Structure 1
Amino acid sequence: MTTAPTTARAASPAARAASPFRAILRTETRLYLREPMAWFWVVAFPTVLLVIFGFIPSFREPQEDLGGRGIIHLYVPICILLAMIMACSQTMPSTIIDYRAGRILRRLRTTPAGPGAIIGAQTLIYGVSILLATALCLTLGVAAYGVGLPENLVGWLVSFLLALAASLATGAVIAALCRTVTSGQVVGMLVMFPSMFTAGVWLPVQAMPDVLQRIVQLTPMGAAVTAMDDAAVGAFPAAGDLAVVAVWTVLLGAVAARTFRWE
């Protein structure tokens, strides 16, 4: 009687790398969910703000200069960008800075996961949070205010993804340049308020004076909100607006890559 030989198959490098990453992702997700203010400002606050704007009667009235749309139509993409701004100027950089200051990133360099797993997990968590905020804003716009889904979906998605990339790159620069959580929060605030202005939170870009509008459209948020609004009404975003967001993403990403330190 013979028995068939058995051989143990070694796990592939990808499988070995995935297991520690999944463990870190689970841990980071639990920590994120235990901080209600972190996910409130990213996921809930933009939707709450859209609800507040929806209570203003004049925001729901059709405007001739907007092609029969109400001002509330403009605030759907603005609130989506607000979720990106809150995530990438406030919460995500502070977490990464805290890990570096606590030498957690340094210790992870000696583990199979590596410190990059933390960065990847944070990016994924906040990316999903922004997607959830986007879904909430779009659903509220459609269900409560009669805001249709983007007519040029491809153009809208391109604009959205570029804006997301630019926001993540901005957060990476803050995390790279700031040594302490306090300094990161201060710099984040200095980035957050101008970003909110250029995204149109206080005054939609379309309502700004021409000169100010042209200046704002040279910023990543100003160009992104213009591109998303163009796609919402059926036009493909202007190449210039997409190029502005792309150039900012590349420049910010390059700065983050050159200046980021694990310890």
Structure 2
Amino acid sequence: MSALTRLTTTETKLFFREPIVFFFAVAFAPILLVILGLIPSMREPDSALGGLRPIDVYLPIVVAMGISLFALSGLSQLFASYREKGVLRRLRTTPVKPILMIGAQLLMATTLSIITMVTILTIGKFAFHVHLPTQIPAYLITYLLVACAMFAIGLLVAALSPTAKSASAIGSLVFFPLMFFAGLWLPRAAMNDALRTVSDLTPLGAGVQALQDATNGHWPSALHLAVLLAWTIMAGGLAARYFRWE
């Protein structure tokens, strides 16, 4: 096994030993989908949503939430905790370079978030008869771009947070506004023009719309893909600039 594979395996085992982090990063989004789907009104067509059922609209929002929770509740806190405990500092004295730790964490986060996404889609399809994406390549590309953007933001939070507690606080402050513009409390279809314009420029607002477009069989707007790419470059660059190993 390569060093990256061994380190990824070890980090995954350690991740599963943190029940609270695991719950919010992996299990919370599928559970939320089940709760929403059990509400009768969520399964009835709504004219305000163009005849779609609310559960149809909320599925990509929950998928985006799953990525966001992993980035802002898992990835950022783990890195901040490792810095606080001196793990990253000690790694610099071993053949395992700290940069390898970032690769292992990102590989673990990507793998587990994809499993969460597949779980959400499976629950939506078989429990609540939500249509699966018909433009699969577009859906996968969009999903990876959303993951890249949110993981970059998560690393930026980790870079700016001296402790795990501060990473949790900052992550929460970032999470709730992003989820608002993703449509969690007010679906994008119900937003006025000003709110929807702002939503289009946020990583989750652009990501949710792009995922919805791919689900409906269309390629996402170039604007939404460009927004996701821009957030990845901007947040990733700032994270690299301000990241501290100790």
* TM-score (norm. length: structure 1): 0.89
Q: How much does 1:66 deviate?
A: 4.0
**Which one of the candidate residues 176, 179, 187 is aligned to 1:193?**
176
1:154-209 per-residue CA deviation (whole Å, 9 max, x = no partner) reads 22112111100001000110111111222212111111111221222212212212
Identify the match of residue 254 of structure 1 among 237, 241, 246.
237
Name 2:73's counterpart in structure 1. Answer: 90
Name the Cα RMSD after superposition: 1.5
When the two structures are aligned, how many residues end up with a matched partner? 246
Cα offset, 1:254, TM superposition: 0.8
Is it true that 1:36 corresponds to 2:4 in the alignment?
A: no
Q: Distance in 1 between matches of 2:9 and 2:136?
A: 32
Equivalent pair of 1:21/1:113 in contact (CA under 8 Å):
no
Q: Is the 8 A contact 2:26 2:70 kept in 1?
A: no
What one-letter code is carried by the residue in structure 2 that aligns with 1:221? L
| CA deviation after TM superposition for structure 1 residue 27, in Å | 2.2
Distance (whole Å) between structure 2 residues aligned to residue 232 and residue 24 of structure 1: 35
Larger radius of gyration: 1
Partner of 2:208: 225
d(CA) in 2 for partners of 1:121, 1:23: 9
The reply to whether residue 239 of structure 1 matches residue 222 of structure 2 is yes
In structure 1, C-alpha distance between the alignment counterparts of 2:50 and 2:196, rounded to whole Å: 19
Structure 1 equivalent of residue 166 of structure 2: 183
2:133, 2:39 → 1: CA distance?
23
**CA–CA distance in structure 1, aligned partners of residues 183 and 115 of structure 2:** 21
Comparing 247-256 with 38-47, greater Cα deviation is found at: 38-47
Matching residue of 1:55: 38
Q: Counterpart of 1:11?
A: none
Q: Deviations over 1:29-53 (max 9, x none)?
A: 2211111222211221111111111
Contact map agreement 1:169 1:256 (CA 8 A) in 2: yes
User: Is residue 42–residue 129 contact of structure 1 (8 Å, CA) maintained in 2?
Assistant: no
The whole-number CA distance in structure 1 between the counterparts of 2:48 and 2:177 is 26
Deviation at 1:219, TM superposition (A): 0.5
Q: 1:258 offset after TM fit, Å?
A: 1.0
SS, match of residue 151 in structure 2: helix
State the Cα distance separating 1:25 from its structure 2 match: 2.3
Mapped contact 1:223–1:242 kept (Cα < 8 A): yes
* Partner-residue secondary structure (3-state), 1:117: helix
Distance, in Å, in 1 between the alignment partners of 2:36 and 2:183 is 13
Q: Name the stretch that deviates more: 172-181 or 57-66.
A: 57-66
TM-score (norm 2): 0.94
Query: Map of 1:86-235 to 2, 5 A cutoff?
Result: 86-235=69-218
C-alpha displacement of 1:65 = 5.0
Shift of 1:21: 3.1
